[in-house]
Structure 1
Amino acid sequence: MIPGAARQPAGDLILCDVVRESADHVLQGLQLLGVEATGGSAADDVGLSGTFLVLIIVATMIAGIGVLLDQPILVVGAMVAGPEFGPLAALCVGLLPPAGHHRQVAAGPAGGFLAAMVATAVSTWTPTAAGLVDRQMLLVERPLTDFIWRPDALSWVVGLLAGVAGMLSLTSKKSGSLVGVLISVTTVPAAANVAVAAAYGVWDEASGSALQLVIDLCAIVLAGLLTLAVQQLWWWWNLARRSRRPAAG
């Protein structure tokens, strides 16, 4: 035991080796002690922190430059830098009973995207005034990035598949898969395109990008919820099956 190692909430750190077959029993014991109620929640990990705000603002600004230049490299870089999937996964946890922290958890990504879009819209005017970019760059054909503001039925398919893969990567600690998920969904680029198009008054493109953003967010959360629900059912079924086994000896 390491006294005082836990800071938020305050407490001690207890380390122990547990064989895989006994993990369910240990977790059940911790639940009987009420650890999940007093030891923190999904909302504690996804508050609107300074780090989250800086990362999502920087990622959205990079994506804003990428859509103006029609540069998929910058768009992909912004996707990887975006920190939004963690809060969305926590929102899925908060929506499942009995967590009930969905309102507080949802404030993180919602506030982050709003701040990022405002910052990107404002930052668009500075290079415009310096002559580095202009409104015409947004109006010309951009074949490499126009998918960001032209959503279709496949946008739902990609978002749902990304939500399943992302939730599985988090629950199974396969972080390599999560990078692929971040690259496959256009949440940050769509938010950037909303901001840039609004800054230049190109409202049809801004509305299309906003729809793409909503589709991505809804699809990820829906798929994440379904994935968690299936995992819970699987775990409960395995637990019930083990409890029905006759004792050895």
Structure 2
Amino acid sequence: MHLRLIVPAERTPTVLTTLEQDPRVTNVVLMTGAGVRPSGDLVLCDVAREAVTDVLDGLRQAGLYSDGGVTLSAIEAAPSVNAHATEEAAPGSPDDAVVWDAVLDQADTQVAGSWSYYAFLTIAVMLASIAVITDSAILVVGAMVVGPEFGAVVALALGIALRRARLSRRALALLVQGFLFAIGVTLLCALAARAVGWVHPSSVSAARPLTGFIWRPDKWSAVVAVIAGCAGVLSQTAGRSNALVGVFISVTTVPAAGDLALSLAVLDSRQILGSLAQLLLNLTGMTVAGVLTLLVQRRLWRRTAEAD
């Protein structure tokens, strides 16, 4: 990974010495006085992913988090000989390394509660409710992909695993508020559709061979939620966000919310309870699996570092 540091001038010699003496760091560059806000020297370097957490801990102790600047970015390719030597000097595999500072920073961003989060979640839930009416598996998949809720689930699991109470509270609040808002808006739309005759109780209670699973949670729902939670957390911590697409289309949180809103509109008590149970089962299963995955990752990586 590439690090861009702004270092107070009086601390530059110490930081440079630390970076230069670490075989897991390469391509160290110094630009004296280049920092304007905050002021200081600009230091650039490339660090083996497995060593990033160690290097960042040292920079934090040097005061760069409070008085300087630290920016991380991923490197797509580094074909030089010195880069390969740097990677070989670090223990373990890059795919197994977790850059906790980056993961936490991303989690803080994901629980900010932007208007786009509420908009995407509402659109996803509305698509899911239409999928219920039309019994369309394609619309169910579309609703799953559009839904942005998994980021908040990961943040909740991360807060619990790392004992970050504030992060956990923000993530849980965003999940609850987001789904309440999305279900509420979809319910109002469903009531309007029922008033003009577009939606009938039979639209929900009729046999739905393609979407009936949404409101009927079973043991496999729990298994899928746990597996998806593990896969989603691994994709986030390993920096492989493309794997999240598979998670999005495997878990029925958004479809269950859409079915819940529609069932409330037609007062189908059986499906209200079923879709609510499905929603809670999936959110709980993903969170628990995420916490356990993070704890295992942390323990395994500590053992790798100690073995080195």
Question: Which category describes the TM-score, using the shorter chain as reference length?
Answer: 0.7 to 0.9
Task: State the distance in 2 between where 1:94 and 1:185 align.
Answer: 21
Q: In structure 2, which of residues 114, 130, 133 is the aligned counterpart of residue 65 of structure 1?
A: 130
Alpha-carbon displacement from aligned partner over 1:92-144 (angstroms, at most 9, x marks no partner):
11112342221122101111001011111101122333333322211210111
Query: Which residue in the other structure is 1:246 paired with?
Result: none
Q: Does 1:91 align with 2:156?
A: yes
Q: Higher Cα Rg: structure 1 or 2?
A: 2
Q: Does 1:120 align with 2:149?
A: no
Query: Which residue in the other structure is 1:16 paired with?
Result: 45
Higher strand share: 2
Q: In structure 2, which of residues 55, 61, 64 is the aligned counterpart of residue 32 of structure 1?
A: 61
1:132–1:42 Cα change, 3 Å: same
Task: State the distance in 2 between where 1:61 and 1:13 align.
Answer: 49
Task: State the distance in 2 between where 1:23 and 1:47 align.
Answer: 25
Alpha-carbon displacement from aligned partner over 1:123-178 (angstroms, at most 9, x marks no partner):
11223333333222112101111101111111110000000011111111222211
1:5–1:124 Cα change, 3 Å: farther
Task: State the distance in 1 between where 2:218 and 2:36 align.
Answer: 52
1:40–1:61 Cα change, 3 Å: same
Counterpart contact for 1:150–1:208, Cα < 8 Å: yes
Once the two structures are overlaid, the 10-residue window that deviates more, 39-48 or 110-119, is 39-48
Q: Does 1:50 align with 2:115?
A: yes
Q: Which one-letter code corresponds to 2:235 in the other structure?
A: S
Task: State the distance in 1 between where 2:122 and 2:133 align.
Answer: 17
Alpha-carbon displacement from aligned partner over 1:12-64 (angstroms, at most 9, x marks no partner):
9964312346434303213435746xx96844531222010000001100100
Q: In structure 2, which of residues 169, 183, 190 is the aligned counterpart of residue 103 of structure 1?
A: 169
Task: State the distance in 2 between where 1:13 and 1:46 align.
Answer: 31
Counterpart contact for 2:214–2:259, Cα < 8 Å: yes
Matched residue pairs, number?
Answer: 236
Percent identity over the alignment? 41
Once the two structures are overlaid, the 10-residue window that deviates more, 165-174 or 96-105, is 96-105
Task: State the distance in 1 between where 2:195 and 2:234 align.
Answer: 45
1:31–1:224 Cα change, 3 Å: farther
Which protein has greater RCO, CA pairs closer than 8 Å, 6+ apart?
1
Instruction: Indicate the SS of the match to 2:186.
Output: helix
After TM superposition, the runs of 4+ consecutive aligned structure 1 residues lying more than 6 A away are none
Instruction: Indicate the SS of the match to 1:143.
Output: coil
Q: Does 1:196 align with 2:231?
A: no
Q: Does 1:157 align with 2:223?
A: yes
Given the two structures, how large is their TM-score scaled by the length of structure 2? 0.71
1:199–1:20 Cα change, 3 Å: closer
Q: Does 1:75 align with 2:140?
A: yes
1:132–1:87 Cα change, 3 Å: same
Unmatched 5+ residue regions in structure 2? 1-5, 7-33, 66-100
